[in-house]
Chain A
Amino acid sequence: MLYVVIAFLFLAIVLYFLLGGADFGAGIIELFTSEKNRQQTRKTMYQAIGPIWEANHMWLIIAVVILFVGFPVIYSQMCTYLHIPLLVMLMEITARGTAFAFRSYDAVKGERTQNLYNHIFVYSSFITPLFLGIIAGSAISRQIDLHPASFVAGYIFSWLNYFSVAVGLFTVALSGYLAAIYLIGEADDDKDAKRFIKKAKYMNIIAVIFGGMVFIAAGFENVRLAHWIFGNSVSLTAVIAATISLILLWVLISRGKKKIIRIFAGFQVTMILLAVGYMHYPYFIMIKGGQNLSLMSLHAPNKTIDDLGWALFIGSFLILPSLFYLYYSFQKKNDVV
């Protein structure tokens, strides 16, 4: 059962990166859209993510619940030493969710208030994945110190370092990229679709640059990233698969395949996560000095893991079909309208 629970944990994290990421990305795209086209982008985006954003964010809750029920020590250490970035992330999630709901449901569509909501929405859409990435980066950067000499050493440098910040920026770029790819298929007309294609290409280039920066920053911080990724066949295969799918994706975009490219983009990001994840597995958080927190040794007692596994298993029978039906119902149907 432990493996089932771990599989669900990774599934929830990957899906949150993909779906939540695309969702944040929509705001990032809006942030980097010229004033002229903003209104149109906003409309497309609202239609595309309105019905599904709340469901997309549930993956985060599922991941957290699995962590604190199944791996309580890991959860409590993470919450202690990454308290500050988690706090920032939560504040931004709050700002973003409420701003999105308020701008759609404010009965008076005043210009000043709408502007305020838009501002909050786009900036928090940027900051949330930034900090999400920072948290993910910090988990593997070996900067978490269980016996810190000072407040700053224990609670600030645990996450404020080149590597974590580079991972944060990389996450932002990937989110924007995922969103642009998704929105291509939701655009109202060809002109719009073209704009999103352009955005997707930019975001992709930026993501590759930030990806490179992650490697450089890893060098600074003595994170053995290159060794992890290129040192074992699974991670290496995953990276190669991601690269091939990137090339295919560019070909498909120019052929105007709007839906199939989503699968390729999702696949690419999943492969990147797999490459990184596989190498440290079973370690979930890497600690300064080497006392890494392992999923295999710090799990809850077996009875709890069994019950949790069953709950997730049964839950997914209820959730997955209805979730697919939700996506299916609200994706743009060319025959309607």
Chain B
Amino acid sequence: MNDFLAARSQMAISLGFHIIYSCVGMVMPLFMAVSHYKWIKTGDPVYKNITQAWSKGVAIFFATGAVSGTILSFELGLLWPKFMEHAGPIFGMPFSLEGVAFFIEAIALGFFLYGWNRFNKWFHLFTGLIVGISGIISGILVVSANSWMNNPTGFDFVNGQYLNIDPIKAMFNGSWFTEALHMSLAAFSATGFAVAGIHALMIAMKKNILFHTKAFKIAIIFGAVAAILQPFSGDLSAKNAYKTQPAKLGAMEAYYHTVPYSPLVIGGIPDTAAKKVNYGIEIPGLLSFLVHDNFKEPVNGLDKIPVQNQPPVTITHLAFELMIAIGSAMMLLGLIYFTALWKKRSWLSKKWFLNLFIWATPFGFIAVEAGWTVTEVGRQPWIIQGIMRTSQAVTPMPGIHYSFYLFTAVYFTLSIAVIVLLSRQIKMVPELYDR
């Protein structure tokens, strides 16, 4: 494995690991706040138990998220020093604000986790809310930094020099809103479905039904609302991608040849040599419609992009298809849930109904990983779209593949540990909370 490939893979695995913990860290505090609030309002001890049980799981996630985030802030320099040398002053604004948000989050977390029976109930609830709000703000900020890499603004690039730098403009680049919106919804739907799925499994196994039913409901309402909104926000993201990164859109859709009534390909395996897609279903005009809101106007395809500026098509296309498939499935599940809640209450305890949500446990996180693959691989060969190539940014230090193996081993071990700890946590629910 050459050093460049190793550096890219290490970055991908680190971010792919961190994102799971940050999604949970962003969203779970709000779930806990809801259940905490219900406890204060109704006095029902089940809600207190749910809050405490969740907070123990979340503490594990937080610690793992915090250390993997610390790794990332060095990794940007360890792997991409040339990138950071130029990009740091431009896209650093969200990172500095994010530092502040993380700090507040860490402080509030100390109050929340160790503050049981110590503070006024309302103050305790407030600290939990602050954890969630600052988590979401920091997520939005860091995504805004990423969106700058996709849509770099806030400076003039003259003869290889970065002049007239304006960090505020860079932070509010044209892509920050679509990306931040889509990512925040993704965090809610992925975490909501994962948590709901675990509780559904416990209900199906007839364990602590009261506890798990209440927990399921809080999680799935968040998840379902986000999942229903997700495709609309994804549509905005795709339109924006076409405007700012046509090569990425071309690769996402595996759309090689520019034609009017541009077709949308569903499924299929790209044949990069022959520049066509095998086994896919083509719907003429739909891509034109999605991009331009009319069926006729041609969408520019990969043939308009010089070959050396094209991203890998197969990975980008397959990841995109996976995200869409899961997104549609989750939206459907969200609608089913609300139908059950409002019209068909009897479904809620049916075996098939629970099974649907049990199966959907990992869906959201798979979609998150697929979505980031689209965004990041689809930007290649650029690290800063149109400005700097990824290969120009990589560290001169040789032997990066050893560091890649090391990181892979560490993340693998940590993942196993977290899974084991979480399942122990769930198994202990009856003993800890059922007296």
Measured CA separation A60–B424 after assembly (Å): 32
> A282 at interface (Cβ–Cβ under 8 A)?
no
Residue numbers in A under 8 Å from B67 (CB-CB): 93-94, 97-98
Is A223 close to B, CB under 8 A? no
Closest-by-CB residue of B relative to A62 is: B99
Q: Are A315 and B84 in contact, CB atoms less than 8 angstroms apart?
A: no
Q: Report which of B98, B103, B108, B424 forms a contact with A107, defined as CB distance below 8 A.
A: B424
A311 and B104: CB pair below 8 A? no
- How would you classify the secondary structure of chain A's contact residues: helix, strand, loop or mixed? helix
A102: chain B residues within 8 A (beta carbon): 60, 63, 417, 421
The distance in angstroms between the C-alpha atoms of A38 and B421, with both chains bound, is 24
Q: Complex: how many Å from CA A66 to CA B98?
A: 12
A55 at the interface (CB under 8 A from B): yes
Name B130's closest neighbour in chain A (CB-CB).
A322
* 11 contacts across the A-B interface (CB closer than 8 A): A51-B111, A61-B69, A65-B92, A77-B81, A83-B78, A94-B410, A100-B63, A101-B60, A105-B59, A106-B421, A300-B92
Report whether A58 and B92 are in contact in the complex, using a CB–CB cutoff of 8 Å.
Answer: no
Contacting pair A51 B89 (CB below 8 A):
no
Assess A107 versus B421: contact at CB under 8 Å? Given A54-B66, A303-B166: yes
Interface residues in A279-337 by Cβ distance below 8 A to B read 300-301, 303-304, 307-308, 311-312, 314-315, 318-319, 322-323, 326, 329-330
Within 8 A of B (CB), among A42-69: 50-52, 54-55, 57-58, 60-62, 64-66, 68-69
Nearest-CB distance from B205 to chain A (Å)? 18
4 nearest interchain CB pairs? A69-B92, A79-B77, A101-B63, A300-B89
Minimum C-beta distance from A211 to chain B (A): 28
| A59 CB, nearest partner CB in chain B, Å | 9
The reply to whether the CB of A233 lies closer than 8 angstroms to some CB of chain B is no
Residues of B351-382 at the interface with A, using a CB-CB cut-off of 8 Å, are: none
Q: Of the 9-residue stretches B184-192, B298-306, B390-398, which lies at the interface with chain A?
A: B390-398
> In the complex, what residues of A have CB within 8 A of residue B66's CB?
54, 57, 97
Residues on B with beta carbons closer than 8 Å to the beta carbon of A72: 84-89
A-contact bits for B88-115, CB 8 A (1 contact / 0 none): 1110110111111011101111110111
Known: A61-B73, A77-B81, A107-B427. 7 other contacts (CB 8 A): A58-B99, A68-B95, A94-B71, A94-B410, A105-B425, A304-B93, A318-B104
Q: Is A75 an interface residue (CB 8 A)?
A: yes
Interface residue? A13 (CB, 8 A) = no
A40 touches B (CB below 8 Å): no
Question: Is B99 a contact of A55 with CB atoms below 8 Å?
Answer: no
Q: Are B70 and A54 in contact (CB under 8 A)?
A: no
A64 touches B64 (CB 8 A): no
* Residues A80 and B86 in contact, CB atoms below 8 Å apart: no
Is B432 an interface residue when CB atoms closer than 8 A count as contact?
A: yes
A79 touches B81 (CB 8 A): yes
Smallest beta-carbon distance B69→chain A, Å = 8
Tell yes or no: B68 within 8 A of A by CB. Answer: yes
- Min Cβ gap B63→A in Å is 3
Residues on B facing A (Cβ under 8 Å): 56-57, 59-60, 62-64, 66-71, 73-74, 76-78, 81-82, 84-90, 92-93, 95-100, 102-104, 106-111, 113-115, 118-119, 165-168, 395-399, 403, 406, 410, 414, 417, 421, 424-425, 427-428, 432
Tell yes or no: A222 within 8 A of B by CB: no
Q: Which residues of B contact A155 (CB under 8 A)?
A: 397
A90 touches B114 (CB 8 A): no
B84 touches A68 (CB 8 A): yes
Q: Report whether A318 and B100 are in contact in the complex, using a CB–CB cutoff of 8 Å.
A: yes
Q: Which of B57, B74, B106 contacts A54 (CB 8 A)?
A: B106
Please name the residue on chain B nearest to A104 by beta carbon: B59
How many angstroms between the C-alpha atoms of A54 and B63 in the bound complex?
8
Q: Please name the residue on chain B nearest to A110 by beta carbon.
A: B424
Q: State the Cβ distance, A240 to closest chain B Cβ, in Å.
A: 35
Chain A residues within an 8 Å CB radius of B417: 98, 102
Residues from chain B with Cβ under 8 Å of A52 in the complex: 110
CA distance A264 to B118 in the complex (A): 30
Q: What residues on B are CB-neighbors of A75 within 8 Å?
A: 77, 81, 84-85, 88
Which of A65, A87, A106, A329 makes the CB contact (< 8 A) with B73? A65
- Contact: A106 with B424, CB < 8 Å? yes
Q: Is the CB of A55 within 8 A of B110?
A: yes
Give the residues in chain B near A253, CB-CB below 8 Å.
Answer: none
* CB-CB nearest in chain B for A71: B88
Q: Are A307 and B68 in contact (CB under 8 A)?
A: no
User: Please, how many angstroms separate the alpha-carbon atoms of A183 and B424 in the complex?
Assistant: 32
Please tell me if A73 contacts chain B, counting CB pairs below 8 Å: yes
Complex: how many Å from CA A64 to CA B114?
28
* A57-B70 CB under 8 A given contacts A62-B103, A311-B100: yes
Is A315 within 8 A of B100, CB to CB? yes
Cα-based distance from A155 to B165 in the complex (angstroms):
33
Bound-complex Cα distance A69 to B99 (A): 12
Residue of B nearest to A5 (CB): B96
Instruction: Kindly state the separation between the CA atoms of A64 and B71 in the bound complex, as whole angstroms.
Output: 11
What residues of chain B lie closer than 8 Å to A106, measured between beta carbons? Answer: 421, 424
B399 CB to closest chain A CB, in angstroms? 7
A76 at the interface (CB under 8 A from B): yes
Q: Is the CB of A311 within 8 A of B114?
A: no
Task: Give the residue name and chain of the A residue nearest to B53 (CB).
Answer: A107
Contact A101 B59 (CB under 8 A): yes
Give the shortest distance, in Å, between A295 (CB) and chain B (any CB): 14
B146 → chain A, closest Cβ, in Å? 15
Which residues on A sit within 8 Å (CB–CB) of B100? 311, 314-315, 318-319
The distance in angstroms between the C-alpha atoms of A16 and B295, with both chains bound, is 59
**Cα separation A97 to B414 with both chains bound (whole Å):** 12
A322, B107: Cβ atoms under 8 Å? yes
- By the criterion CB–CB under 8 Å, are B398 and A107 in contact? no
CA A93 to CA B414, docked complex, whole Å: 13
A333 to chain B, nearest CB (A): 10
Q: Does A108 contact B (CB under 8 A)?
A: yes
Q: How far is the CB of A131 from chain B (nearest CB, A)?
A: 12
Q: How far is the CA of A124 from the CA of B362 in the complex (A)?
A: 33
Looking across the interface, which residue of chain B has its beta carbon closest to that of A53? B110
| Option from B71, B95, B410 in Cβ contact (under 8 Å) with A69 | B95
Pair A54/B92 contact, Cβ less than 8 Å:
no
Residue of chain A at shortest CB distance from B411: A94
Assess A87 versus B167: contact at CB under 8 Å? Given A94-B410, A104-B59, A301-B89. Answer: no
Which of B56, B76, B96, B106 lies in contact with A311, CB distance below 8 A? B96
Contacts of A108 in B (CB 8 A): 424, 428
On whether the beta carbons of A107 and B89 are closer than 8 Å, the reply is no
- Quick one: which of A68, A77, A100, A107 contacts B76, CB cutoff 8 A? A68
In the complex, chain A residues whose CB is within 8 Å of the CB of B81 = 75-77, 79-80
- Shortest beta-carbon distance, B434 to chain A, in Å? 14
- Measured in the bound complex, the distance between the Cα atoms of B87 and A73 in whole Å is 11
Q: How far is the CB of A144 from chain B (nearest CB, A)?
A: 13
